[in-house]
Amino acid sequence: MNAASETAAAAAIAIDGPLAPSDVAAVARGARLTLSNAARERIAEARRIVVALSDQGIRGYGINTGVGALCDVIVDRPLQQALSRNLLFSHACGLGDPLGREATRAVMAAEINGFAHGASGVRLEVVEALVALLDADILPIVPSRGSVGYLTHAAAIGLVLIGQGEAMARGERISGREAMARIGQAPLVLEAKEGLSLVNGTPCSTGLACLALARFAELLDWADAAAAMTHENLGSQIGTFDEATLALRRSEGLQAVGRRMRRLLAGSALLDARIGQRTQDPLSLRAVPHVHGAARDVLTNAEIVVANELASVTDNPAVAGTVERPLVRSEAHAVAAALALTLDGVATAAAEVAAIAERRIDRLVNPLVSGLPAFLAPEGGIFSGYMIAQYAAAALVAENRRLAQPASLDGGITSALQEDMLLHATPAATKLLAILDNLRDVLAVELLAASQAYELQPIEGRASGTEGLYRRVRALVPAYADDRPMNADIAAMAALLALPAFAGDRS
C-alpha cells in the first residue's frame, strides 16, 4: 500500500446521497464505506416493494421472468430463488487475469452506491455483506476480460456472497465460503430479483471510470512537472507561458497549465541566460498549455458524466411506488452510452498527453536540438544513455494509439437479438486504465531524462520549483551511466508517480 492508499485508508465515507467520483476513488484506495440510516431505509423499502410485486403476481423482468431473450418466460415463486442463484453461475464466465485491488474495490463501491438509491430491491443483508467485505479488504477475484458492459465482473463478486467463487484476503486466496465466514456471515441464499441486481447496472464501468479519472488527474500534474523540467533544460522561451498571451484562448485547462508553468519556472537562471535566442519554440514545448490544458478540460467534463452515472439508477428493472401500489419500470439504464463515449474521449486525451511527452523526450536526447551530449550519456561511444529509453516511450505511445480506438463503436449482438446493440463501457474503462499505465511510464522516462539533462548543463541555475522536482527524482533514482538495466529505473519511478506532484495545489 503506497502513501496515497494509506491516507485513503484512514478516511471513512458514508453513503447518504450519491457518492462523488472522488469518493469511489478514495474507497478504491482503502477508505472505509458505510451506509447512512437514510440509505438503509431506502434499501429496505425497495425490498418491501419487490416482495409486494411478487405477492401480487405483477410481472417484473428478472423478478418472476427469465432474463435477456427469456424475458417472457414466467418463473413461478418457488423457483425465484433458483433463478437468482443460477444467474450468478451462468453469468460468471469472465476470463483472464483478475482485476487489481483498487479496481475491485472501486467496482464494489459503485455497486453499493447503486443499491443505496433504493430502486433495486435487494435485501439490506446483501448490501451489508458487500460493505463488510470491503471493510475487511476481503475482495472477490474478478476476471478482467469477457465483459461487453457489466455482467461477468459483477457475477464474480456476487458468487462470493453465496459462498461460491474465490476471494483474496491480504494476499491469501480463499474460497467464497471462507470469505463470508471471515466477516462473520453464512453464505447468503438469494431471493427474487437479487441475482439479477447483483449482475446488472453499470457499477463495473462506473467504478473503474472513477479510478481512471483520479489517476488521470494525478498524471496530468506530473505531465506539467515533466514538461517544466524539459522546457528549462532545452532553454526554451519563458514567454511561451505569458499570462496575457495565453488569455487569448478560452480554456480553463489551458490557463491552469499556464499558471503552473509560470510558477515552476519562476526565477530560472537557465532560462534567463537564453532569453531571446529563439523566436519561438517547437510545438512539443510551445503547445504544452494547449495539449495538457485540453486534456484537463476533457477530464473536467468527464467528471460531470461520471458523477451523473453515480447519481443515476442503472439497475433494470427499477422498482418504485409503495407496498400497496408497487411499480416496476423496465428501462435501458444499464446501457452506459454517455459513460462509454466519454471514456473513449478521455482515452484519446491521455494518449495525446503521452504522445507530446515522448516528443519532448526525443528533443532531450537528440544532440542536434538539445545542445547536450548525445542521448544524455556522459561520454559517447561506449555509452548509449537514454537512447533506448526514448524507443521504449515511442513504443508505449504507439500502443496507446491502438488502445485509443473507440470501444463504444465495437457493437455486437447478444441474447438472441434481444440485446442487439452494445456500447462496451467496461472495455472502454479497462483500456483507459491501460493507457494511463503507459502514460505513467512515458512520464517516468521524461522525468528521468530531464533530471539527467540537468547534470549535463554547462551552467547552474534551476528554478526553485523544478529544483524540488529534481530532488524528488534523485531521492529515488541516481544518475545513469550505463551501469544497470534502465527498465528498473523506469519501474522505480512508478512509486513517485503514485504520489501527488504538487501537495495541495491542483491549479
Q: Is the separation of the CB atoms in 359 and 319 below 8 Å? A: no
318 Cβ contact partners less than 8 Å away, ≥ 6 residues apart = 119, 120, 328, 329, 331, 333
CA pair distance 319, 330, nearest whole angstrom? 9
Q: Is the peptide bond before 378 cis (omega within 30 degrees of 0)?
A: no
**Does residue 470 have an active-site annotation?**
no
Cell of 357: 511527452
Give the whole-angstrom CA distance, residue 192 versus residue 86.
12
Compute the distance between CA of residue 230 and CA of residue 320 in angstroms, rounded to an integer: 57
Which of 61, 150, 454, 480 is catalytic? The answer is 61
CA 229, 233, 239 angle in degrees (round to 5)? 80
> How many alpha carbons fall within 13 Å on the CB side of residue 165?
31
Edge-to-edge strand order for the sheet containing 166-169? 138-140, 166-169, 172-175
Q: CA-CA distance, 229 to 213, in Å (whole number)?
A: 25
Residue 406 Cα distances to 144, 208, 411, 423, 434, angstroms: 19, 17, 11, 10, 14
Q: Which three cell numbers stand for residue 169?
A: 484476503
Nearest CA among 290, 308, 307, 298 for reference residue 342 = 298
For β-strands 12-15 and 32-35, DSSP reports them as parallel
Beta strands in 410-476 (DSSP E): none
Which residues are the active-site residues?
61
